[in-house]
Amino acid sequence: MPNIVSFQQGNAAMKQLLGGKGANLAEMTRAGLPVPPGFTITTEVCRRFYDGGGQLPAGLMEELNQSMRELEAAKQQRFGDPMQPLLVSVRSGSVTSMPGMMDTILNLGLNDETVKGLAVMTGNARFAYDCYRRLIQMFGNVVFDIESHHFELGLRRLKRKLRLEQDSEIPAEGWIELIASYKAVIAKEAGRPFPQSVSEQLELAVAAVFRSWNNHRAQFYRRLHHIPDEQGTAVNIQAMVFGNMGGDCGTGVLFTRNPSTGEDVLYGEYLMNAQGEDVVAGVRTPVPIAKLKAEMPDIYEQLFQTAKALELHYRDMQDIEFTVEQGKLYLLQTRSGKRTAQAAVKIAVEQVKEGLISHGEAILRIEPFHLDQLLHRAIDTDRPLDVLATGLPASPGAATGLAVFDADTAEAWAREGRKVILVRSETTPEDIHGVLAAEGVLTSRGGMTSHAAVVARGMGKPCVCGCDAVGIEGREFSVKLSDGRTVTISEGDQVSIDGASGRVIRGAVSLREPVLTAELSELLAWADEIRTLQVYTNADTPEDAAKARHFGAEGIGLCRTEHMFMQAARVPVVQSMILAETADERAKALQQLLPMQQEDFEGIFRAMDGLPVTIRLLDPPLHEFLPNLEQLVLQQERMSHNPAVEPEQRAKLDSLLRKVRTLHEMNPMLGTRGCRLGLVLPDIYEMQVEAIFRAAVQCKQAGMDVRPDIMIPLVGHANELKRMRELVVRTASEVLGKLNHAADCISYQIGTMIEVPRAAITAGQIAQHADFFSFGTNDLTQMTFGYSRDDAEGKFLTHYVETELLPNNPFQVLDQDGVGQLMEWAVERGKTVKPLLKTGICGEHGGDKPSIFFCHAIGLDYVSCSPYRVPVARIAAAQAQLTAPNVWK
Amino acid sequence: MPNIVSFQQGNAAMKQLLGGKGANLAEMTRAGLPVPPGFTITTEVCRRFYDGGGQLPAGLMEELNQSMRELEAAKQQRFGDPMQPLLVSVRSGSVTSMPGMMDTILNLGLNDETVKGLAVMTGNARFAYDCYRRLIQMFGNVVFDIESHHFELGLRRLKRKLRLEQDSEIPAEGWIELIASYKAVIAKEAGRPFPQSVSEQLELAVAAVFRSWNNHRAQFYRRLHHIPDEQGTAVNIQAMVFGNMGGDCGTGVLFTRNPSTGEDVLYGEYLMNAQGEDVVAGVRTPVPIAKLKAEMPDIYEQLFQTAKALELHYRDMQDIEFTVEQGKLYLLQTRSGKRTAQAAVKIAVEQVKEGLISHGEAILRIEPFHLDQLLHRAIDTDRPLDVLATGLPASPGAATGLAVFDADTAEAWAREGRKVILVRSETTPEDIHGVLAAEGVLTSRGGMTSHAAVVARGMGKPCVCGCDAVGIEGREFSVKLSDGRTVTISEGDQVSIDGASGRVIRGAVSLREPVLTAELSELLAWADEIRTLQVYTNADTPEDAAKARHFGAEGIGLCRTEHMFMQAARVPVVQSMILAETADERAKALQQLLPMQQEDFEGIFRAMDGLPVTIRLLDPPLHEFLPNLEQLVLQQERMSHNPAVEPEQRAKLDSLLRKVRTLHEMNPMLGTRGCRLGLVLPDIYEMQVEAIFRAAVQCKQAGMDVRPDIMIPLVGHANELKRMRELVVRTASEVLGKLNHAADCISYQIGTMIEVPRAAITAGQIAQHADFFSFGTNDLTQMTFGYSRDDAEGKFLTHYVETELLPNNPFQVLDQDGVGQLMEWAVERGKTVKPLLKTGICGEHGGDKPSIFFCHAIGLDYVSCSPYRVPVARIAAAQAQLTAPNVWK
């Protein structure tokens, strides 16, 4: 394998070896585009650089010099020649684009002698010394690690002295003076002079670029984007062209389409008489590309044609860097342009219509995760925001409203038509009605999978979690700003949150509504034609169900019945059911709950007419519906000191406390919940089944096509499902009998969550009693790892992810080696016993792209996710089919 | 397959079809022993009886009548013949012995006519009518379900009227009068007369015996002994012989050796002029068998010879029923005799010496579980015990001492030499020093796997758990007895517990010390020759280690270091380590703990000189070492109302409460514990490793062979073990360096617990960093099932086992389908990656026989169990090898 590849030799397919930039420069060169000559030192050399402890491999310099000789021949200049000096740029270029993360040195090859030659050669001494001072600064920065402010200080002093405002006004003599002071900075900070030998310059620069692969921000970026450390960077050495040699020079960046809206127009900006860096650094304000048409019509036309040609060549929107040197256009870089979700959708759909790409390619162009931007409200303002703090971006979307500090106030104010943001240290199931009433939720504790986060995502409400800068005291919170000021937000004050970025903002902000654009709808329709994986939704209310259906959900994969128990009006009935001392008392409370539940189900059946609705019977431990133990203990203690309290009040509290203690569990996650409840207290499940079938009959009589599926939670042993199946079948036929309907008038299925490791392991036994499996990957992850969601984050899990012990938070990205292995086993064993077994996933992973790919690969029939994630999942499912055809079907 | 098999046709090998009793009667008949003629209706017929909804299969009665004809021919009598009536017994006989659980009817064939014939035939009217009244009573009882007291009432009235004391004094006329009243009882209670047709009697009796397979006590017994419901019972019909025909008659039971001590003498008792039932019913007191030698020397001699022959024939100690009818010996039954553990060992060893059985057979004769009786103290008294209540038999052994109600008092009193029983509602890790100090533990809450139970078993202390009849209030407990009295035991009162039966006894009782008898030692030596599975022990103290070594442990498989943190003197240091605000403060506390831990390890290494010691680094969550959150909240509330409290006292409590809240977890079982602690706070593990290696060097210098193995708990991802391994290796080499020792002077291994499902699933990855795997099946069961040990029992798990949803409590008997499947995978994958990987089990299942069999089958290298279980495991491991040769080796 060669260590160095010239732009003539390379091509776009050599991206692994040459990096993205090098491969593209070679590709453009091969296409006959005007690219300054150059070559690439491969990523393989970078790996050897690190293997060798940060030394350039032996022999590399000889090859490098040989390549420089070829460059000299091409440019008719010589490196270090005092008359016709060749100048080069030395740039990083990784396989995966990491914009701005690594280092670049321009104008390499200048020294005290060659600068004079450049001045003569270009007839522009001012330009030549400007180049030289730029080199010294960049070199000091990149090679010797000297902070920029040392150099900026000198420049500021010079301008003060010359009484000038703009760098462009400084004459050659000014730059010469500055060069002397820059050299002094180098000597002082680096302990050695700026090297006058150009080949020493080159060697030091190449090593420095390799080193920059491991600088702090590059490492951070790689971790963030899951780029392997072993990939390494290439180094591109290219003859310099100058956009700053005079009025017929310039430099700019260009997108072949508008990266923000997707519109098919050239988009970009440029600066006359400047180097690329001036554009990036923001020292001067660049001019929109459209102006170039007037300023340099030939160049504009050439650029326009080149842009079209490049788009055609790469079959994607391009992000191009160009320089005009004395009226001649050079292309310095082209790559696929980054774009907003909106632009991505529009460009992909239009490129299909232009015949450029296929439906499948269009779908693969979309990063499903970015669609979130389109599907939620966003902040829509140019005003600077008064950001108070940043928490975890727990549920996307922006919201604005009055701060309230408890669920009851949230509900009361919302009923009066006021928009509110619920602010809590953390939420509990008792706050659900408050979350429902609020525009968004802000908590000071808890992670991405805390109760507030999970519930908010389920409801599609914006949520910022674990914002520990927010100190809540009673009915206000305060934030200490970095400047030392403390801002206090009291109940009723306007506050805004952005659940996509985690920002907490003082005051109201204007919001932009999400829309399913025509292009997105078209793209989704193509995705539906391609994908084999169905997309269901998790929805607990008719509103959510309708929303999900609008977004294309093909059924409800998870309808949680516990949230129906949490509505404020129902909590007392639910509590009296739990606190009942006798079966009779409990039966009475259940009879009160029955019509409420029936109404819930009717609403959902109506919204999902013709589609399956998978209803999970009650899952959480009963104590979640009761007051907090610690609070009760305190209350009891206080009552004992209060002579005004009536004995029966005391007795009532004592009895409540006793019951709460009885139900209290050391590890509620592993306690009496799910079907364990259904087995110990079957009457609750019987009531729920009765409500389902009464609702089904009502809707059927109203002419609807009702398709209820009943799902048993937390099964770990086949016998649990067997008995629960018996209970459902028996209760259903009793209810239908009472309503004078045949037992088979409503067709329904009975299935189970697979969320306990043992259920996955013994899936063959369990499948005998199941019509479907639904993987509850939240709980399955908890138990397979032995991580409590409530505790892990903020304690050890954050530490694990930060120190790269784990590649990801397994509650966000499905752990394929562990949890996924169990799923694969379960599907295989389940389908062996029952080939027509329906399988799906209803954990939060159902909306995550790699997890959807995995679900597709192991042959699941559907994924179920929150309503707003349905379009995301439709795209991801199609991508999965396009990239990894389903091996099971 | 025949429905009916005569005694001449059957043999001992046909036990599945004929039941134990039928097969043995046939075997004895074939051996020429004096067995009354008869035949057996097979267990297959019983299954068809139940499949047919409780109806005798069609055609059975014809076959039955045919068999009765053959019996008539053999006995020269006719069934229902008024002159020479044939009488038969109808008895159940299941495959697995279920003594007394099912029904029997004797004297069948008597009616108002045949009774006269019997009187003439035997010349004994009194005897004939006695038989008849017995038949009516048993028939009423078994066939018509009439309770005994209806009949007993009539008998008592008759005796009062005749002014007689003994049944044997009642003349024929008395019996005739009683028969009339018995018939009236039948007519009234059953609504139909006692059947005079003998073939109707037979048909009803056979059906009733089949029905008795499903009576309540038989079902209960089967569940208790894991006998499958499908096994069914056979019915044996046999010509009657009479032990009650006069002074030359009698009946008795006989063991061929003493079933209590194992001594090689005939053991048993008999009654002259009686039916077998009289022996069982305890109406008359039977006479020791030795007296028969004087009373009927010929019969005794014949019996002696028969006993020896039967023992030789069956190669095991026999339990024989016999009847002497007019001077002629008949054998009615023989079966392997039940025996105490002590007898079982003695008999097995002596039978080997007699050349009767092999070493292997001797080992297979021992039920390992019963050895527990020999290895713990037992109650040794003939006085009636004052049993107050019965709880769960949580840890075997008996103890007696003064009741104390908190751990500190237990420790203080024990230090003064007083023996104490620690009584708590439940124990927590803070009570450990109290458990250590006490003779035994009694709790009113918690199950077989509660903290108290686990700790007590680990220490070999007797424990009775979950005894909810015990109401603890402050420093006393009271029990409400069934007679309405309430007994109160105050601190300092004598109380005793029997951890094998769960009994709580008022006052002191005398105890018998356990001994490893010469016979048991010999048997264990044979087991050691046979077994391939090694037996390690779980031991946390030098005392336990020494005890286990005495019992034959070949190493320590689990040395828990947290118990070392729990000693009263250390708790403040441990707390200051946890509460440290800075790394420095924590380091100081750890430095204080270091010499203490070092001393612990030195003691254990000394006790295990030459054997491996597997030390598990700290496992439980830190909050277990801190005061209880609820208590602190209450304390804070009380302080806030107490003006006398100093501000700094208040601040100290506030700060403590804050820390406890920080460490508080919703689900501590799934929280920050095990290696998660080691990763987040590495200095604790570093201290422990330092202590281990300092101790190892000390012991090595004292000439010992030290073999420390270091075990990392709660690993779920290979990276966790990788990092912990690095920590151990680094710390060990640093410590050894500081002590001027080479890094390889102590040879040690580093391994991991496999107790998180993900660890088992990804065992191939984890094995790359492990020298050994130790299955922590307690936690593995918790997470695989999703059952919290602390919560499941007493809530849903008891319900699950009682309703047979689960075959067993999976914390007691390893769940092979789920947890076992994970273990099998882990061993397979681990050994694929590392063929020499050492594997073992250190959960409580390590002492359970079926679990040991399973561990042997999947190829583990060792099981580790509590010291007292070591002999049990040695026997079970040998049995596993004898019955299922290891397929892995």
Tokens 């180094």 -> residue: A235
Judge: A679–B815 Cβ closer than 8 Å, yes or no: no
Residues A655 and A727 in one domain: no
Q: Is the dihedral of CA B9, B11, B13, B16 positive or negative?
A: positive
CA distances from B767 to A202, A761, B617, B646, B828 (A): 47, 21, 19, 56, 11
pLDDT at position B282 is 54
The two tokens of residue B484 are 């309405």
Mean pLDDT of the B113-133 span: 90
Mean pLDDT of the A123-141 span: 91
pLDDT per residue as tens digits for the range A27-77: 889 888 899 999 999 999 999 999 988 999 999 999 999 999 999 998 889
In a domain, B75, yes or no: no
**pLDDT over threshold 70, residue B365:** yes
Residues B763 and B868 in one domain: yes
Using pLDDT thresholds of 50, 70 and 90, give the confidence band for residue A279.
Answer: low
Give the CATH number, domain containing residue B701: 3.20.20.60
Interface test with chain A among B449, B454, B634, B666, by most A beta carbons within 10 Å: B666
Query: Of the ranges A427-436, A718-727, B690-699, which one carries the lowest mean pLDDT score?
Result: A427-436
Query: Of the ranges A607-621, B349-363, B494-508, B875-889, which one carries the lowest mean pLDDT score?
Result: B875-889
Q: Last residue of some domain: B315, B339, B363?
A: B339
- Chain A residues 762-801 within an 8 A CB cutoff of chain B: 762, 765, 779, 782-788, 790-792, 795-796, 799-800
In B, minimum Cα distance to A825 occurs at: B761
Q: How far out from the chain centre does Cα B93 lie?
A: 24
Give the CATH number, domain containing residue A400: 3.50.30.10
Residues B566 and B431 in one domain: no
DSSP, collapsed to helix, strand or coil, labels residue A474 as: coil
pLDDT at position A370 is 80
In a domain, B311, yes or no: yes
pLDDT at position A885 is 58
pLDDT per residue as tens digits for the range A288-341: 999 999 999 999 999 999 999 989 988 999 999 899 988 889 998 888 888 888
Cβ-contact A880, A531 below 8 angstroms: yes
Residues B652 and B724 in one domain: no
* Cα A847 from Cα B797, distance rounded (Å): 35
Residues B437 and B566 in one domain: no
**pLDDT over threshold 80, residue A373:** no
Using pLDDT thresholds of 50, 70 and 90, give the confidence band for residue A348.
Answer: very high
Q: Which residues contact B389 (CB under 8 A, 6 or more apart)?
A: B467, B469, B470, B479, B503, B504
Residues B598 and B654 in one domain: no
Number of structural domains chain A divides into: 4
Q: Is the dihedral of CA A402, A403, A408, A409 positive or negative?
A: negative
Q: Which domain holds residue B308?
A: 241-339
Cβ-count burial of A875 within 10 angstroms (0-12 exposed, 13-18 middle, 19+ buried)? buried
Q: Last residue of some domain: A448, A481, A512?
A: A512
pLDDT at position A889 is 36
Q: With left for phi above 0 and alpha for psi between -120 and 50, is residue A563 left, alpha or beta?
A: alpha
Cβ-contact B34, B333 below 8 angstroms: no
Judge: B762–A817 Cβ closer than 8 Å, yes or no: yes
- Which of the two residues, A380 and B438, has the higher pLDDT score? B438
In a domain, B267, yes or no: yes
Q: Which residues of B touch A720 (CB under 8 A)?
A: 805
Strand partners, A49: none
Residues B297 and B440 in one domain: no
pLDDT at position A3 is 93
Using pLDDT thresholds of 50, 70 and 90, give the confidence band for residue A280.
Answer: low
Radius of gyration over every alpha carbon of chain A, rounded to an integer in angstroms: 33
Query: Of the ranges A242-246, A474-478, A539-543, which one carries the lowest mean pLDDT score?
Result: A242-246
Is B755 annotated as ligand-binding? yes
In a domain, A217, yes or no: no
Degrees, nearest 5: CA angle A627-A628-A629: 115
pLDDT at position A673 is 94
Q: Which residues of A touch B801 (CB under 8 A)?
A: none
pLDDT at position A137 is 94
* pTM of the entire predicted model: 0.78
Strand partners, B568: none
Residues B771 and B871 in one domain: yes
Query: Does the active-site annotation cover B623?
Result: no
Q: Which of A305-314, A825-834, B291-300, B555-564 has the highest mean pLDDT?
A: A825-834
Give the CATH number, domain containing residue B293: 3.30.470.20
Q: Which residues of A touch B670 (CB under 8 A)?
A: 667, 669-670, 782-783, 786-788, 791-792
Which of B679, B792, B819 shows the shortest C-beta gap to A799?
Answer: B679
In a domain, A827, yes or no: yes
pLDDT at position B889 is 35
Residues A334 and A390 in one domain: no
pLDDT per residue as tens digits for the range B304-345: 999 999 899 889 999 998 999 888 899 988 888 888 888 999
Radius of gyration over every alpha carbon of chain B, rounded to an integer in angstroms: 33
Residues A657 and A717 in one domain: no
Is A616 annotated as ligand-binding? yes
Which of A714, A719, A800 shows the shortest C-beta gap to B786?
Answer: A714
Kindly state the percentage of chain A with pLDDT values over 90: 63
The two tokens of residue B564 are 């070392």
Q: What ranges make up the beta strands (E) of A412-502?
A: 420-424, 440-443, 463-465, 471-473, 476-480, 486-490, 494-498
Using pLDDT thresholds of 50, 70 and 90, give the confidence band for residue B278.
Answer: low
Residues B606 and B698 in one domain: yes
Average pLDDT of chain A to the nearest whole number:
91
Residues B449 and B507 in one domain: yes
Kindly state the percentage of chain A with pLDDT values over 70: 98
- Chain B residues 824-883 within an 8 A CB cutoff of chain A: none
**pLDDT over threshold 90, residue A563:** no
Using pLDDT thresholds of 50, 70 and 90, give the confidence band for residue B885.
Answer: low
DSSP, collapsed to helix, strand or coil, labels residue A514 as: coil
CB atoms within 10 A of CB B51: 10
pLDDT at position B117 is 92
Say whether residue B813 is in contact with chain A using an 8 A CB cutoff: no
Using pLDDT thresholds of 50, 70 and 90, give the confidence band for residue A362.
Answer: very high
Kindly state the percentage of chain B with pLDDT values over 90: 63
Using pLDDT thresholds of 50, 70 and 90, give the confidence band for residue B691.
Answer: very high
**pLDDT over threshold 80, residue A282:** no
pLDDT at position B886 is 45
In a domain, A118, yes or no: no
In a domain, B649, yes or no: yes
In a domain, A210, yes or no: no
- The secondary element (H helix, E strand) that includes residue A378 is strand A378-379
Phi first, then psi, for residue A114 (nearest 5°) are -65, -25
**pLDDT over threshold 80, residue A886:** no
Average pLDDT of chain B to the nearest whole number:
91
DSSP, collapsed to helix, strand or coil, labels residue B619 as: coil
pLDDT per residue as tens digits for the range B59-113: 999 999 999 999 999 888 999 999 989 999 999 999 987 877 788 899 999 999 9
pLDDT per residue as tens digits for the range A196-207: 999 999 999 999
- The secondary element (H helix, E strand) that includes residue B90 is strand B88-94
**pLDDT over threshold 90, residue A734:** yes
Which of B676, B758, B799 shows the shortest C-beta gap to A680?
Answer: B799
pLDDT per residue as tens digits for the range A96-124: 878 777 888 999 999 999 999 999 877 78
Say whether residue B805 is in contact with chain A using an 8 A CB cutoff: yes
Amino acid at B635: Q
Cβ-contact A506, A489 below 8 angstroms: yes
pLDDT at position B111 is 96
Say whether residue B136 is in contact with chain A using an 8 A CB cutoff: no
Is B114 annotated as ligand-binding? no
Query: Does the active-site annotation cover A664?
Result: no
Using pLDDT thresholds of 50, 70 and 90, give the confidence band for residue A696.
Answer: very high
Using pLDDT thresholds of 50, 70 and 90, give the confidence band for residue A281.
Answer: low
Query: Of the ranges A604-613, B398-407, B642-651, which one carries the lowest mean pLDDT score?
Result: B642-651
Mean pLDDT of the B533-559 span: 95
pLDDT per residue as tens digits for the range A149-187: 899 889 999 999 999 887 778 899 999 999 999 999 999
